[in-house]
Structure 1
Amino acid sequence: MLYVVDDELEFTSLLKELPSPIFQSLIAFNDSTLFLDTASLESDDIVILDLQMPQMDGVEIIRNLSTRSRDINLILISGMEGAVLNSTSMLASALGFNVIATFSKPFKLEQLLKVVAQASAKIKQSPQHTHYQDDAEGFSKHDLCSALKNNEFVLFYQPQIDLQSLHICGMEALIRWQHPQLGMLAPDRFLEQMKSYDLLDELTDFVIEETIKTETKLNKEGIDICASINISASSVINLSLPEKLENLISDAAITPSRFCLEVTESELMTELVPALDTLTRMRLKGFNLSIDDFGTGFSSLQQLHRIPFTELKIDRSFVSNLMLDSESQVIVEACIFLAHKLGMSVVAEGIEDEQTVKKLVTLGCDVGQGYYFAKPMPEHALFEWIKEHLPVDNTVNILRTVK
């Protein structure tokens, strides 16, 4: 269901006239109190919320919603400056809401139509709509240990594309749980519990070993692309990790430059000294290092100065709003400029449309990742995807053209 909370009657009338069955069936509220009292919200509902309501403002509405259900999809709109929209979006995300997009008035209705249509399609395809509805919070340590023992965890790979040549240049390894009853589970269903039970190191070992196996197969096929692996906080401070990784790739006869270890800013803040030790020695051994979700932490510039990163990964929250929000565009442009000045490459994740690709190319971004190019896929599908885009000269190229 699509809900619109806006005190402008003309706006809601215009939405109903849009050529889309989604908007023709929307429920509009011009009174925020009435919306909170009567709307029965489900996880697949989308709420278009104007922040400037007369009875209570958008922040108050979001706060009230958070006491009832946080599994709601929001599109925020406002005539205020972009900074207000950004702050409200961050607040809503921190409270657990899924903020799809933000719009500054005035905006084109066609843009809103496109965003809502894409979001609706994605929601319908999400795991909670294709698998059982059980909540993952009930998983015990025994459940997770059994999953590790029984090889129920699998890796999916999402291609990374060189935005200048449009060749595949890398892939990110992403963990999934093939649960025997619940089906395929995304990491947000189990990672926090793995962390609470001190199982992340074992899971990270699995990801590393499986990624090395995949890289070995690609190497035998003559396909040279880099694999990115997310490293947990506990692994970052493991002083034996550099030697362990070096031995594993040596046995597989693969060079360290084919691997990029991704670390988030928050993980670096746990124990800085051992993290600095481990990551510096990783770089000395030839591994690439990426600072993930850049711009969302509290000491980004300090971390760039401390640790020899080779790659900066712009957080998807900025990329997804690149064409809708001038502040996001400024931040993305600044990240690209800063990274290049420091000799780092830049990856933009969360790309979902051609307009964003074109803009990133204009801004000089190096690598793109997102559903626009390819969704995460299991190993066999990755090889099929590569072969479909593999010309006779063995140069991997995607079939999209950016004009």
Structure 2
Amino acid sequence: MNNKFAIRILVLDDEPFMLKLLCRMLENSGFSSVSTCDNGRAALELLDRTNCHPDLILLDINMPEMDGVEFVRHLVEHHYSGALILVSGEDERVLQSVEKLVRAHKISVLGYLTKPVIPARLAELIDKWMPPAQVAIEAAKRIYSAEELGEAMVSGELVNYYQPKVDVATGEVVGVETLVRWRHPSDGMVYPDKFITLAEEHGLIDELTRVVLSGALNQSRTWRDAGMPLRVAVNVSMDNLVSLNFLNNVVELTSKAGVPPQEVVLEVTESRLMTDLRVPLEILTRLHLKRFRLSIDDFGTGNSSLTQLRNIPFVELKIDQSFVHGAWANDTQRAMFNASHGLATQLKMESVAEGVEDRADWDFVRHQGCDLAQGYFIARPMPAEDLPAWLVDWKRRCPELVLQ
């Protein structure tokens, strides 16, 4: 738990009763430095007093004169470096929209509370608070160059981790998704969000994908020889699909590794719109004809949408984690999940729920009849050598999860 006495909290709400209620909740939880304002302009004046700068603001969204959305814009102008908790009686979808807006403004938001506020939920959100210096350290992003990434591929610093996919009905482990990591000699483990875009922008994505695919196929062969025939999935960038050489490379590497094409899943995410679909469509259609499994990744986000389902012969639909984790308690997410899953069912595609983070998520996707699941509740991505031990532990856990 954070040092409560070190957190300066401002409660901003136009309703006197809510101000008193929230202050009482905070005091009962041990927070001693709490101030209040009943309008946005007074709160901004308070921010201008450096000795009273709040670390955390409980912000009501719907207020007269200056509403919470406008107040957030003024926070940006005031270079506010603290965090927010949104509070409102508005529809949950409105709260979610404002939360996204706050994040887009690069202001830390710990979450939102619906009225009437539950004290335990308030305490849970405040527990997420971190001092600004710590937030800055965690948010700091090391910028890498294309030259560094190119050298890393040559020197073997890129390593594959594997996250299991399991059959939701039986618990059977049917495959793994390959997730590349950069084992940097001085920075430690670097995650793909730090270098995939770099590879795409500097013409390195073909070589990066080749390194990842080659390693995954060789590992698949090793597992098969050890009596563990697992489907292996590899992420494919749309930038890989601008040259027919990609098709030849996939076929050649798969044949060389001795892995059946139907046991290879190519997960396609369209992170940017393609102006000319002729070559990508040819590559993906021919891969399908050669019995490779095509998966549409992060469905419902970015550009991965109904158009791609219509144009490309996908056999697997991955429901994005933003529609899965917590969907059991969120009407909007549940509707998105059900729409995606229903579409997969109607199109006779295998559905995969990403982001199964806890038992409630697992029970939800089981109840909804999803085919496969992956997420931290099942397993975190792991080095290949850790998979056998995880399998033993999963077999121990599995009966209790599927025999309900």
Percent of aligned pairs with the same amino acid: 35
1:135 alignment partner in structure 2:
141
Instruction: Give the aligned residue type for 1:142.
Output: E
Contact preservation (8 Å) 1:160, 1:368:
yes
2:194 alignment partner in structure 1:
189
Task: Name the CA distance, whole Å, in 2 between partners of 1:276 and 1:363.
Answer: 32
* Distance verdict in 2 for CA 1:67–1:320, change over 3 Å: farther
1:243 alignment partner in structure 2:
248
1:401 alignment partner in structure 2:
401
Task: Name the CA distance, whole Å, in 1 between partners of 2:140 and 2:265.
Answer: 35
Within-5 A mapping of 1:63-212: 63-64=73-74, 76-95=86-105, 102-106=112-116, 108-110=118-120, 135-137=141-143, 139-212=144-217
Task: Name the CA distance, whole Å, in 2 between partners of 1:398 and 1:71.
Answer: 45
More relative contact order in 1 or in 2 (CA 8 Å, sep 6+)? 1
Task: Name the CA distance, whole Å, in 2 between partners of 1:71 and 1:200.
Answer: 36
Q: Deviations over 1:237-287 (max 9, x none)?
A: 232222321221222221112121111233463532221111111111111
Q: Deviations over 1:161-182 (max 9, x none)?
A: 2211122222111111111111
* Distance verdict in 2 for CA 1:134–1:298, change over 3 Å: closer
In the alignment, structure 1 residue 266 sits paired with structure 2 residue 271: yes
Task: Name the CA distance, whole Å, in 2 between partners of 1:349 and 1:26.
Answer: 41
Q: Match of 1:136, SS?
A: coil
* Distance verdict in 2 for CA 1:114–1:235, change over 3 Å: same
Q: Which range moved further: 210-219 or 185-194?
A: 185-194
Task: Name the CA distance, whole Å, in 1 between partners of 2:303 and 2:385.
Answer: 39
* Equivalences, count: 382
In the superposition, the TM-score normalised over structure 1's length comes to: 0.81
Task: Name the CA distance, whole Å, in 1 between partners of 2:355 and 2:325.
Answer: 6
Contact preservation (8 Å) 1:4, 1:26:
no
In the alignment, structure 1 residue 13 sits paired with structure 2 residue 24: yes
Contact preservation (8 Å) 1:351, 1:370:
yes
- Kindly state the Cα deviation for residue 332 of structure 1 after the two structures are TM-superposed: 0.5
1:308 alignment partner in structure 2:
313
2:230 alignment partner in structure 1:
225
Q: Match of 1:317, SS?
A: helix
- Kindly state the Cα deviation for residue 380 of structure 1 after the two structures are TM-superposed: 1.3
| Larger Rg over CA atoms | 2
Task: Name the CA distance, whole Å, in 2 between partners of 1:312 and 1:5.
Answer: 44
Is there any run of 5+ residues in structure 1 with no aligned partner, and where? 19-23, 392-396
In the superposition, the TM-score normalised over structure 2's length comes to: 0.80
* Distance verdict in 2 for CA 1:374–1:6, change over 3 Å: farther
Task: Name the CA distance, whole Å, in 2 between partners of 1:72 and 1:253.
Answer: 55
- Kindly state the Cα deviation for residue 212 of structure 1 after the two structures are TM-superposed: 0.6
Task: Name the CA distance, whole Å, in 2 between partners of 1:372 and 1:166.
Answer: 13
Task: Name the CA distance, whole Å, in 2 between partners of 1:35 and 1:321.
Answer: 36
- Kindly state the Cα deviation for residue 189 of structure 1 after the two structures are TM-superposed: 2.1
Task: Name the CA distance, whole Å, in 2 between partners of 1:72 and 1:287.
Answer: 49
In the alignment, structure 1 residue 283 sits paired with structure 2 residue 288: yes
Q: Which range moved further: 301-310 or 27-36?
A: 27-36
1:368 alignment partner in structure 2:
373
Within-5 A mapping of 1:318-337: 318-337=323-342
